[in-house]
Amino acid sequence: MTKSKVLRMDNVGIVVESLDNAIAFFTELGLTLEGRGKVEGEWAGRITGLGDQSVEIAMMVTPDGHSRLEISQFLTPATISDHRTAPVNALGYLRVMFAVDNLDELLSRLSKHGAELVGEIVQYENLYRLCYIRGTEGIIIGLAEQLNN
């Protein structure tokens, strides 16, 4: 018998207060809205353990088509926890990292959507320029620009 294994990572899920703001932010980052719709009912609550639920979901895809973000706004039940202001060393979800081609230009555009640097932009050897930002709703996003050698 063959041992089961993971085939791929389908998506990373992020819960937000405003789906529209999150879609606008991640679109500015370079992702494309693949689809949007409601998931509701007792069957969905059996998966999450939340009982009867109503969630609006947007699926965002990266330009290469290989990675996705599932952005969810819970309509019911109400959210009960908020870690958006937690520091980058908090337990649990830390960040999503994106490879970018022009860090400075992208940061300028994202700042119009409320993004702020967590620390500073740092160059790692002659390989990368890296930073963390707090994007829409305080979500921590990592950005990495590979340097040409």
Instruction: Using alpha carbons, select from 20, 16, 44 the residue that is nearest to residue 33.
Output: 20
Q: For domain 12-76, which CATH number applies: 2.60.370.10, 3.40.50.1260, 3.10.180.10, 3.10.20.90? A: 3.10.180.10
Give the pLDDT of residue 149. 58
User: Is the model's pTM score more than 0.85?
Assistant: yes
- Taking residues 93-120, what's their average pLDDT? 92
pLDDT digits over 30-88, tens only? 999 999 999 988 888 888 888 888 999 999 999 999 999 999 999 998 888 888 778 88
Q: For domain 96-146, which CATH number applies: 3.40.50.300, 3.10.180.10, 1.10.10.10, 3.40.640.10? A: 3.10.180.10
Q: What is the DSSP letter of 73?
A: E
Q: CATH 3.10.180.10 residue ranges in the chain?
A: 12-76, 96-146
State the pairing for strand pair 116-117/96-100: unpaired
- Taking residues 119-142, what's their average pLDDT? 93
Higher pLDDT, 46 or 101: 101
User: Does residue 114 have a pLDDT over 90?
Assistant: yes
